[in-house]
Structure 1
Amino acid sequence: MSVVVPVYDEAEVLPLFTEQLRPVLDDIGETYEVLVVDDGSKDATPVLLERIRREWPAVRVVRLRANSGHQAALSAGLARARGDWVVSIDADLQDPPESIAAMLQAARSQGVDVVYGVRTDRSTDSVFKRGTASAFYRVMGRIGRTSGPSHAGDFRLMSRATVDAVNVLPEHHRVLRLVVPALGFPSAEVGYQRAARAAGRSKYPFTKMLRLSVDSITGFSTAPLRLATWFGLVGGVAALALLVYALGSFLTGHTTPGWTSTFVAVAAVGAVQLLCLGMLGEYVGRMYTQMQGRPSYFVAYDSLAATTPDQGRRAATSSETPGSERTGR
């Protein structure tokens, strides 16, 4: 089993996380590796990871050259994970490591490829976070091409076949909580109560949440493009009706000059046009990024390659992902 843990400036919570994770994995009875992806941390996280690795040989550290984002760090971990089963989990202890055993049991007993950790209780989150999360899942459920469970984040267990399928996808700005359900592999769910962050501060401020939402919508639905088309049709019908009304008023001599109606009409049409152009720009931007073919991340260091060069080089080469998920040293 591989446990992929993306971290960024998590020096405060890492000791607590490893202290809670290690007995859970030891009790499962499976050989395992804990693949920690350091997403360009600027605090004491790299030093702390090396200390943890010396005390816990199963820990493997992969360090990215620069901060590439949570989803890119997850992708880097999936590309290098070697286990038959791969678990992705954050280090903030909001997702309980104790659920990993239940996930593995569910996968084997039900014969599924994916087991999602579903947040059945989010009372520790703020009202704003709960409200925006509920709105996000409702919107994606209506317009997206995925049928993933609601309130399932990036805490999941995947089979080797699922990870291999994810790794060959060439798309940029992937949102794994939507990519994995979109594959359509057999799945199950394990519910848990979401805890408060054990230490440190959240790495997902409002701006990153908004960016994730935009990537999710533009990556999994063409509904905004159809919405722009409907805006155009409605605007055309409204303009035709106004033209008929204006001609009728002119012929009957009831025209009254005024700037208010003109100003409102021009402002409304301009707003709709800008909104439509913005939607089109998001999709054109995704195509432009995809055509550039730039990697989403670069790997600077892999402790497996540092300790066993030949084995590490073979593992890294076999797990590199084509397209957007190329790695470099």
Structure 2
Amino acid sequence: MNPPAVPPHLSVVVPMFDEEAVIGLFVERLRPVLDDLGETYEVLVVDDGSRDTTPALLEKSRRDWEQLRIVRLRANAGHQAALSAGLMRARGQWVATIDADLQDPPETIAAMLAAAQERSADVVYGVRNDRTTDSMFKRHTANVYYRLIRRLVGHHVPADAGDFRLMSRATVDAVNRLPAQNRVLRLVIPALGFPSTQVEYRREERAAGTTKYPLARMIRLSVDSLTGFSIAPLRLATWFGLGGAAVTALLFAVAFGAFVTDHTLPGWTSTFLVVAGVGAVQLLCLGIMGEYVGRLYTQLQGRPTYHVAYDSSEDVLQG
């Protein structure tokens, strides 16, 4: 029986889904940065059910890079679930999370470690101070997202900070103890309240391949962010109800006055508009409440958000 392995100083968690075009470039950029740190480390790549040659290319890279560790999920579970799987299995005293597309520069990890030690911080957020490489649509929607989230959830959520961050072991353990269903880590981690700081960087263009966050996934992330961390939509539904009641009372007063003064006129248009307006508000409120009920239902089921099929480190420990 082999003795338990000594935890590395740093774990780098990298979710990947169909990233065959960028793996070589990513390894070329990340490995020199980590080797120059002078600390023990592991790179934990979570293969999120890739359908291309990503698994084969990762295995090829692992033969030449002993610190590379591969965790493969049985099916695509989504970006946040893949990150959660990596955090659950990371062993480092510090854990960094970064995407493989090289839009977040790996060289910033060294600055994050230095900032954490100099400022006694448990979390170091990578904050984008230059997004000129993103499209205008992407910049605009991101700005709206962060402004809305900070207004509804709180200003403890750093603006323009995605999933590129460094966390202490205490922070990672706290995250792993939380329920895993539909959580958005860029909101979960600030909500824990651990001492934090920021390191700014310029967001680069995607090195190769195509984005794995199309519009549909961006909308899903926004919905999860709103319904998972704020009751503002429910309060909005309440205000719609109160507003509808006020309008109904006003219309009743107008109708009663018209009846008393004998000025009633048959009108299909006004009746149709009122019924359609009230029905639309009711459906909107039901939809908002349905989002919350659905989250409670999913939480009560307790189904795991991902299933691990393979962990290369287990082969090493058993060998």
8 Å Cα contact 1:145-1:220 kept in structure 2: no
Alignment coverage as a number of residue pairs:
310
Letter matched to residue 287 of structure 2: G
* Residue of structure 2 aligned with 1:68, choices 77, 93, 101: 77
Query: What secondary structure, in the 3-state scheme, does the structure 2 residue paired with 1:301 have?
Result: strand
Question: 1:175 Cα shift?
Answer: 0.3
User: Is 1:308 the counterpart of 2:302 in the alignment?
Assistant: no
8 Å Cα contact 2:50-2:76 kept in structure 1: yes
User: Is 1:18 the counterpart of 2:27 in the alignment?
Assistant: yes
Query: What secondary structure, in the 3-state scheme, does the structure 2 residue paired with 1:202 have?
Result: coil
The residue aligned with 2:273 is 264
User: What is the distance in 1 between the residues matched to 2:247 and 2:160?
Assistant: 40
User: What is the distance in 2 between the residues matched to 1:145 and 1:170?
Assistant: 21
8 Å Cα contact 1:146-1:178 kept in structure 2: no
Question: 1:307 Cα shift?
Answer: 1.8
* Residue of structure 2 aligned with 1:298, choices 300, 307, 310: 307
Question: 1:39 Cα shift?
Answer: 0.1
* Residue of structure 1 aligned with 2:137, choices 125, 128, 135: 128
Letter matched to residue 36 of structure 2: D
* Residue of structure 2 aligned with 1:198, choices 192, 207, 214: 207
8 Å Cα contact 1:146-1:181 kept in structure 2: no
User: What is the distance in 1 between the residues matched to 2:262 and 2:205?
Assistant: 69
* Residue of structure 1 aligned with 2:244, choices 229, 232, 235: 235
Query: Structure 1 vs Structure 2: percent identity of aligned residues?
Result: 68
Q: Structure 2: any 5+ residue segments left out of the alignment?
A: 1-9
Letter matched to residue 214 of structure 2: P
Question: 1:171 Cα shift?
Answer: 4.0
The alpha-carbon distance between structure 1 residues 69 and 290, as it changes in their structure 2 partners (threshold 3 A), is: same
* Residue of structure 2 aligned with 1:148, choices 157, 169, 174: 157
The residue aligned with 1:322 is none
TM superposition score normalised by structure 2: 0.96
Deviations 1:270-303 (A, max 9, x none): 1100100000000000000000000010000000
Question: 1:146 Cα shift?
Answer: 6.1
The residue aligned with 2:184 is 175
The residue aligned with 2:118 is 109
User: What is the distance in 2 between the residues matched to 1:96 and 1:134?
Assistant: 21
Letter matched to residue 169 of structure 1: L
* Residue of structure 2 aligned with 1:184, choices 187, 193, 208: 193
Deviations 1:210-253 (A, max 9, x none): 00000000000000001100100010011001001100001101
Spell out structure 1 runs of 4+ moving beyond 2 A.
none
Deviations 1:189-228 (A, max 9, x none): 0000000000000000000000000000000000000110
Question: 1:166 Cα shift?
Answer: 0.2
User: Is 1:251 the counterpart of 2:272 in the alignment?
Assistant: no
8 Å Cα contact 2:180-2:305 kept in structure 1: no
Letter matched to residue 173 of structure 1: N
Q: Structure 1: any 5+ residue segments left out of the alignment?
A: 311-329
The residue aligned with 1:163 is 172
User: What is the distance in 2 between the residues matched to 1:185 and 1:198?
Assistant: 33
What is the Cα-based RMSD across aligned positions, in Å?
0.9
The residue aligned with 1:139 is 148
User: What is the distance in 2 between the residues matched to 1:186 and 1:113?
Assistant: 5
Letter matched to residue 236 of structure 2: L
Query: What secondary structure, in the 3-state scheme, does the structure 1 residue paired with 2:36 have?
Result: helix
8 Å Cα contact 1:146-1:182 kept in structure 2: no
User: What is the distance in 2 between the residues matched to 1:168 and 1:77?
Assistant: 14
User: What is the distance in 1 between the residues matched to 2:208 and 2:104?
Assistant: 13
Question: 1:145 Cα shift?
Answer: 4.6
Query: What secondary structure, in the 3-state scheme, does the structure 2 residue paired with 1:28 have?
Result: coil
Letter matched to residue 229 of structure 1: T
Query: What secondary structure, in the 3-state scheme, does the structure 2 residue paired with 1:17 have?
Result: helix
User: Is 1:287 the counterpart of 2:302 in the alignment?
Assistant: no
The residue aligned with 1:321 is none
User: What is the distance in 1 between the residues matched to 2:256 and 2:20?
Assistant: 71
* Residue of structure 1 aligned with 2:233, choices 199, 218, 224: 224
The residue aligned with 1:327 is none
User: What is the distance in 2 between the residues matched to 1:167 and 1:59?
Assistant: 22
Question: 1:309 Cα shift?
Answer: 2.6
The residue aligned with 1:45 is 54
Deviations 1:113-151 (A, max 9, x none): 000000101111111111110000011111115611100
8 Å Cα contact 1:175-1:216 kept in structure 2: yes
